[in-house]
Amino acid sequence: MRDLFTTIGTRYLIAILNLVLIFINAKVLGVEGVGLVGLILAAVGIATMFCGILAGNTIVYFMNRYSMKAVFLPSYCWTPVGAGIACGCMAILGLLPEGYAFDIYILSILTSLVAANSRFLLGKNLIFGFNLTFVLQGGLLFFVLLFLYYGLKIQNVTAYLWGMYLTNGIAFLVSLFLLLPFLNRKEADPRKGRSRYALLQEMFTYGLWGSADNIAEILTTRLNYFLIKRFAGLGSVGLLDAGTKISESVWHINRSIGFIAYSRVARTHDPGEQKQTTLRFFKLTFCAVTLATGCILLIPEWVYTDYLFSAEFAGMRNVITGLSTGIIALACNSILSQYFIGSGKIRYSAGSSFTGLISLLVSGYLLIPSYGVVGSAISTSIAFCIMLAFSMIIFCRKTGTRPKDFLINKEDVRFALRKLRLTHDGSQP
């Protein structure tokens, strides 16, 4: 429980810095600059998911069955290949912003290696190293960009890219240093007589399903950027990106919970324990994310246009309102996805994500031409809600869970209070 609160606290510290950075970017880059950065990061995110075939959650899953040494080399070698395939496909489809293809490719490799290292740290239960990597990757960017924007007076998208290169590079080197003792440690053959090819084949089979899930999910969360650019222009992308990032700031909660939930589900083979762990984390996620989203919805429109952003970002509150239901739905769905992935039922997580992607394409093409950015936000919420419904139905069928089991009961409250009491007592001298 202490690891959980530490991870959530770290994520929210970074979330606060990122929120402030959103406002700074809006002032420095303007709505179109924010839109361009949003498109670049969306492309990097898609490429990173391709790299995640062998460098994502596949790492944690196989580390609990083999060893770090057996998994390390395939994960690292695949990264430039996966990034190349993803960037090539996006180039063919015309999704890469003109003049930024090379930057997207290099940043995709770098962020994927950082993600891989963080998974290795998590698999070794080095929560401190895991959180430190996230702080260096996310929190340091705030201070670097402040220096570039106001110290060196480089107030353009190039400065943002330089910041990404520097912070991800530092995060990679530090996380790799933390892993070196495990890489140098002598171990017995973890493959139990299996060839490297057999292990690679097994990792690829698992990773393809896992990445199919992640790719579909990232497309569901970011494809609207490209749809909006097509129908409404780069300025509308900037408005959508700003509203999306403010709304998604609450996802630091479920991502923190999800990483730990996945690790715990993957470490046990008891179906009953996996089910109970998932339900408890699901309820915790729902309560925390709903509360955080409600607080964001209380912010009036004039705060965004007069203080946080500028008049260019008029309509921000409507975007956030349209996204709010979907934000809560996807947060809860991520916990169920971690259960499917951690228990080896990864196909169901992929099915949920592809269902959401199809829903987004259909609703987006129906709503965006007529309602613009707000239509994009609503179509996103529709897709996320359909994903959650799909996952809940499958989870109930596979575990014997009743719909009412997703509701908070007295036992959940007593469990939370007991854990909080133990955590408090353990902190006493």
- Return the closest-CA partner of residue 303 out of 246, 218, 341: 246
How far, in Å, CA of 161 to CA of 259, rounded? 28
Would you give the DSSP letter of residue 405?
A: G
Under 8 Å CB-to-CB from 105, ≥6 apart: which residues?
A: 47, 83, 84, 87
- Report the run of H or E that residue 314 belongs to, with start and end: none
Q: Which phi and psi angles does 33 have, rounded to 5°?
A: -65, -40
- pLDDT, residue 425, reads 45
Q: pLDDT at position 286, please?
A: 87
58: which 2 tokens?
């596949």
Residues (pLDDT < 50) of the chain are 420, 422-429
- Euclidean distance between CA atoms 280 and 414, whole angstroms: 12
The beta strand positions in 164-244, using DSSP E, are: none
Supply the pLDDT for residue 70: 79
Q: In this structure, which amino acid lies at residue 21?
A: L
Q: What is the pLDDT of residue 382?
A: 95
For residue 62, the Cα-to-chain-centroid distance in whole angstroms is 21
Report DSSP state, residue 156. S
How confident is the model at residue 267, as a pLDDT?
60
Question: Measured between alpha carbons, how far is 44 from 252 in angstroms, rounded to an integer?
Answer: 19
pLDDT value of residue 426: 46
93 phi/psi in degrees, rounded to 5: -80, -5
Q: Beta-carbon neighbour count of residue 150 at 10 Å?
A: 12
Nearest alpha carbon to residue 85 among 37, 40, 36, 49? 49
State pLDDT tens for residues 163-178.
999 999 999 999 999 9
The per-residue pLDDT for 404 is 83
Q: Where are the alpha helices (DSSP H) in 196-315?
A: 196-232, 234-248, 251-267, 271-297, 301-303
Yes or no: say if 38 and 240 are a contact pair by the CB < 8 Å rule: yes
Structure confidence at residue 72 (pLDDT) = 85
What burial letters (b/e) apply to 355-392, b meaning 16+ CB within 10 Å?
A: bbbebbbebbeebbeeebbbbbbbbbbbbbbbbbebbb
- What pLDDT is attached to residue 125? 74
Q: How many CB atoms lie within 10 A of CB 428?
A: 5
DSSP 37-59: HHHHHHHHHHHHHHHHHHHSTHH
pTM: 0.75
Whole-number Å distance between alpha carbons of 386 and 404: 19
